[in-house]
Amino acid sequence: MPKPSNEIIRSQDGSHTLMSGQFDTTYHSTHGAIQESNHVFIEAGLDYLVDIKPDIEPIHIFEMGFGTGLNALLSLLWAEQHQRTIIYHSIEAYPIEKATWQAVNYPELLHIEPQRFHQLHEVSWNERCGITSNFHLHKISSPIEELDLNQDIDLVFYDAFGPGTQEELWRPPVLNITTDLIVKDGVLVTYCAQGAFRRHLIALGFDVARLDGPPGKRQMIRAVKG
Ligand SMILES: C[S@@+](CC[C@H](N)C(=O)[O-])C[C@H]1O[C@@H](n2cnc3c(N)ncnc32)[C@H](O)[C@@H]1O
């Protein structure tokens, strides 16, 4: 049976997100997709990492859930702005359709040529591709449960659908597949602030902080590996 397709919807900051036909939930906060990605992954993640590790170069990011490619795009723009090198590894089991990534309004809202965003979707899966001199993209076409990645990771963007939708991705043993990759003092950020998830991270040896969430969300989690 073909999987149900995704519907493009406008979030409150004007940026698009998708309603997943397969999972019956949205890819981002409906309060603002770009706003949420910037708050959780760029500011609480990338900005924080270079605050605590100013000399880190390159930065290896692992993203759980490539989705629309919005987090990858914001990281590409950050790398350019900060003149830092990012190797961005991102796993996705259910890539979105071409007509969908061609239609989302991120290039327009971020004032970039559409081709710069589309390139992130067009490059091959399962190999490391140079997008710019300081942004390299390694898209992994696989379920997280079968991840085969031999790479130390400095920063994780844990951007799975929420525990209400995919509870198994927010606890061991699946959670450990990602946390095992993280170096000592490496960082995991996520929009989710669920108590059970927080306790799993603590049991796995992380120092866990609950930070203010993006608009519309009280809290988020940032965890540093001990
Ligand atoms: C919240 S969305 C990610 C949003 C994305 N980071 C972005 O910037 O648009 C969660 C993603 O996880 C993917 N996913 C769901 N189950 C998965 C699994 N078992 N393994 C890998 N990816 C999965 C979904 O297809 C979806 O793209």
Q: Amino acid identity of 68?
A: T
90 CA closest ligand 1 atom index: 6
| Structural domains in the chain plus CATH codes | 32-225 (3.40.50.150)
Half-sphere exposure of 112 (CA within 13 A, CB side): 17
CA of 84 to the centre of ligand 1 (A): 26
Q: Mean pLDDT score of the chain, rounded to an integer?
A: 97
Q: Give the pLDDT confidence score for residue 4 in this predicted structure.
A: 74
Which residues have CB under 6 Å of ligand 1?
27, 63, 65, 67-68, 70-71, 91-94, 143-145, 159-161, 166
Rounded Cα distance, 74 and 124, in Å: 20
Distance 129 CA to ligand 1 centre (A): 20
* Ligand 1 geometric centre to CA of 185 (Å): 25
Residues 33-49 pLDDT 10s? 999 999 999 999 999 99
Q: How much is the pLDDT for 2?
A: 63
Ligand 1, atom 12: nearest CA belongs to which residue? 65
Per-residue pLDDT tens for 157-182? 999 999 999 999 999 999 999 999 99
Give the amino acid at 148. D
Confidence (pLDDT) at 1: 59
Is the Cβ–Cβ distance between 20 and 161 less than 8 Å?
Answer: yes
